[in-house]
Amino acid sequence: MSQHCCKEMEFHLQEGEVALLYLPKFREYGIQILDGGSSFQEIYYCPWCGKKLPSSLRDQWFNQIEALGHEWGDEDIPAKYLSSEWWREVA
């Protein structure tokens, strides 16, 4: 079973040949802005199967980090918050 909405999405994310990305920490999908930076345009539907993608957890991530007394960029943020582990625990 695919981690993502369809086999095409899974394939393109693994191959890395299109400007598509997935940020597991925030559960976000997007299209990279090809300007050499890390910017991207979030997408809400799969470009291949049309399925609605899961909503971003970015705001919840920041809320939990702040509740733990951390800020963005702190070096001692617990490891589980650097991946999808933190939200998979409650999903």
For CA atoms 13, 16, 19, 24, the dihedral sign is positive
Say what the pLDDT of residue 89 is: 82
pTM (predicted TM-score):
0.85
Q: In terms of residue numbers, what domain contains 82? A: 57-91
48 with 35, same domain? yes
pLDDT lower than 70: segments of the chain: 1-2, 91
42 with 75, same domain? no
Say what the pLDDT of residue 1 is: 46
Say what the pLDDT of residue 2 is: 62
3 with 47, same domain? yes
50 with 30, same domain? yes
For CA atoms 80, 81, 84, 87, the dihedral sign is positive
Say what the pLDDT of residue 72 is: 86
49 with 62, same domain? no
N-to-C CA span, the chain = 17
